Structure 1
Amino acid sequence: MDTLNTFLNNDLSAFQFMAIAAIFIWTGFVRTGIGFGGAALGLPLLLLVDDQPLVFLPIIGTHLLLFTSFTIVSRIQNVNWPVVAKSMSIIIVPKILGLIGLLSLPNYWLIIIVFCITLFYGATWLLNYTIRSQSKAVDVALLTLGGYISGTSLTGAPLIVAVVARYVNKIQLRETLFVIWIILVAFKMTAFVVYDVELQWQFSLVLVPFVAIGHYIGLRVHDYFINTDSNMFHRVLGASLIVISGIGLIKHIF
């Protein structure tokens, strides 16, 4: 993992650091504001700054464990534990398979996978198409695919949310999802340790204040998102993701 270990040793330009800091404010806001999407909506942006997924994934994972745990402590009563247990029983095997892919696939393919997944999410949000499950068979398919994508890139959240949202009310949704994210990220961070992937903990600590800013804003607007039709927000977000994914794919394919 020599290429990863050199990341912090190389001086980042002021622009790169400011860009990364701004993106982590965004990830903190999204994760706490809507309950998911910190990685799905942040990783593609980070890959435009530096195209090493295995540098940023441990940082995102560390922040997720830290800030979701803070939120859960005071809202543990909102967690729907039966839904957590049933979801994890399906997710866990494809999650492990996805982790194997993450640690074995070439960096180029990981980047292409992330941008293609982001392009798909962007298109669904722009077209105001909601991924929904209407049967147990679809539940299993979405959780399986979401678990695998979560293993490879931490961007499987929208597929998992489509199932969990079917069984819990809006008040319970964020905290129930947070418990699922904590379990999934704990598996990923353990795999990073076992396979000697640099956890980038120094850079994680430097970025904590920026994530905290986004986290605080997200806490303030969470109730607004629960009680408001956010179609316009999702459409603007979808268009942005399509542009970002397009730039990323063009950059790495051509």
Structure 2
Amino acid sequence: MTLLDFSLYQILAIALVFAWTGFVRTGLGFGGAALGLPLMLFIHNNPLLWLPIIGVHLLFFSGLTLFNSLHNVDWQYLRYSAIYIIPAALIGVFGLLNLPVLWLNGFIYSVTLFYGFTWLLNRGINSQHVWADRGLLILGGYIAGISLTGAPLMVAVYMRNVSKYKLRDTLFILWFILVSLKMTAFIALSVDLHLLTALTLLPIATIGHILGLKAHNAIMRNDLIFKRWIGGGLVTVSLLGLWQLYSQFVWDVMKSNGLI
């Protein structure tokens, strides 16, 4: 599937969503996929269309950071956390390629709904013990593997263990590693990477990326207000998505039983 398969209105919506993901990715330093994928599923409901495209963009933008900021990465904590994150992420990739689309979308919307409520209600994801850190890293890695939306869980741990001056650059390197593993699995299993679509959307995402860089300091100064607004939007989108999936499930059940 390419952009030509969509209507003009859908193409405009896709452009806005990818500009948004680029903005969030650099404005917050994480969350581009978590805040963009639920919107993309309203346009086309198969995650395997969007995730390779998001992956290409993540590799490109995190690669820029990798080139310029290797000196500002907390390599010690990155190596430590990778022991828990990477195996879980590989298991998540297996789930992405084998679970039904309806289940995958329900999982993505449910995770996003959780994030939305935590941000809307200002209930941060916190851990005070090593075992809790490990649990969040494993869960975040699994969610990242299945949908690339596990960032908020891993960030909660990284914020407590990595200097704020090194946090964003360290996270970008983590995203680069995780997405590289995911894309390698896609290639090995002959999943369509939709490279032409990804490259077509790259300039649009770049606009959001640049705007996010410019807005980063302002967002960090107003982090609570920004996240509450975003949280409210995520709750709304996720509830609508779950309702749509429930309606589709009921319709399919009734149809399969000859009730309609």
Question: Which TM-score bucket, shorter chain as reference?
Answer: over 0.9
Pairing partner for 1:232 from 225, 233, 247 = 225
Q: Distance in 2 between matches of 1:9 and 1:175?
A: 32
Shift of 1:102: 0.6
> Residue 3 of structure 2 contacts residue 197 of structure 2 at CA under 8 Å; is this kept in 1?
no
Q: Distance in 1 between matches of 2:66 and 2:213?
A: 12
Q: Distance in 2 between matches of 1:219 and 1:66?
A: 15
Q: Residue type of the partner of 2:66?
A: I
Q: Residue type of the partner of 2:210?
A: Y
Give the corresponding residue for 1:95.
89
Give the corresponding residue for 2:157.
163
Give the corresponding residue for 2:8.
14
Shift of 1:9: 7.7
Q: Which moved more, 1:102-111 or 1:70-79?
A: 70-79
Q: Given the superposition, is the C-alpha separation of residues 187 and 220 from structure 1 closer, same or farther in structure 2, using an over 3 Å criterion?
A: same
Give the corresponding residue for 1:241.
234
Q: Residue type of the partner of 1:236?
A: W
Aligned ranges for residues 101-140 of structure 1 at < 5 Å?
101-140=95-134
Give the corresponding residue for 1:149.
143
Q: Percent identity, please.
A: 49
Shift of 1:10: 5.5
Aligned-pair Cα RMSD in Å? 1.1
Aligned residues: 247
After superposition, the C-alpha distances for 1:1-32 in whole angstroms (9 at most, x for unaligned) are xxxxxx22852111100100100000001111
Q: Residue type of the partner of 1:147?
A: G
Shift of 1:229: 3.7
Shift of 1:191: 0.7
Q: Distance in 1 between matches of 2:5 and 2:183?
A: 26
Q: Secondary structure at the match of 2:172?
A: helix
Q: Distance in 2 between matches of 1:98 and 1:111?
A: 14
> Residue 77 of structure 2 contacts residue 161 of structure 2 at CA under 8 Å; is this kept in 1?
yes
Q: Secondary structure at the match of 2:39?
A: helix
Q: Residue type of the partner of 2:68?
A: S
Does 2:223 correspond to 1:251? no
After superposition, the C-alpha distances for 1:166-222 in whole angstroms (9 at most, x for unaligned) are 111222111000010000001100110111110000000100110000110111122
> Residue 17 of structure 2 contacts residue 36 of structure 2 at CA under 8 Å; is this kept in 1?
yes
Q: Residue type of the partner of 2:54?
A: I
Q: Residue type of the partner of 1:242?
A: V
Q: Distance in 1 between matches of 2:5 and 2:235?
A: 31
Shift of 1:151: 0.8
Q: Residue type of the partner of 1:231?
A: L
After superposition, the C-alpha distances for 1:18-63 in whole angstroms (9 at most, x for unaligned) are 1001000000011111110011000000001110100000000000
Does 2:210 correspond to 1:187? no
Q: Distance in 2 between matches of 1:10 and 1:202?
A: 11
Give the corresponding residue for 1:196.
190
TM, length-normalised to structure 1: 0.95
Comparing both structures, which one devotes a greater share of its residues to helix? 2
Q: Secondary structure at the match of 2:33?
A: coil
Who wins on radius of gyration, i.e. which is larger? 2
